[in-house]
Amino acid sequence: MSYQMESYFADKTPTGSVGKAAPAPALPPERDLAYAKAAASEVLKRGEKDASLDWENPTTGARGTVTPMASAYVQDGQTCRDFLASYVNKTEQSWLQGEACKEARGEWQVRALKPWKSS
């Protein structure tokens, strides 16, 4: 299963119009995020290069893929890594960016998860 990201990389040239800023996208429900977070922990634990892991909540039908991004880095004495997760539920589709860090016992714990914004 693959997801296309082209629409997120489209040219975002300002048009010069002034208006209210669009509200920040909301996160998917926690009952779905729990599955995405578990997939993030699992794919990071594997430590494979160029790895992705699919996830699915069988109760809601929500699904997606988690892909580690860039290299690991050290933050507050812990090894951390950023990841990108897709979220698909019926007609809703979005992207999330997250950060997970390796705990003392060796498990990866998701520290942050928010709607992804292209830069």
Q: Which domain holds residue 96?
A: 50-119
Q: Give pLDDT, residue 9.
A: 39
Number of domains in the chain: 1
Q: Give pLDDT, residue 81.
A: 95
Q: Give pLDDT, residue 10.
A: 42
> Residue 20 domain-assigned?
no
> Residue 66 domain-assigned?
yes
Tens digit of each residue's pLDDT (9 = 90 or more) over 78-118:
999 999 999 999 988 999 999 999 998 889 999 999 998 76
Tens digit of each residue's pLDDT (9 = 90 or more) over 35-69:
999 999 999 999 887 899 999 999 999 999 999 99
Q: Kindly report each contact of residues 43-51 with a partner whose C-beta sits within 8 Å and lies 24 or more positions away, as own/partner.
A: 43/67, 43/68, 43/83, 44/68, 44/81, 44/83, 44/100, 44/102, 44/108, 45/106, 45/107, 45/108
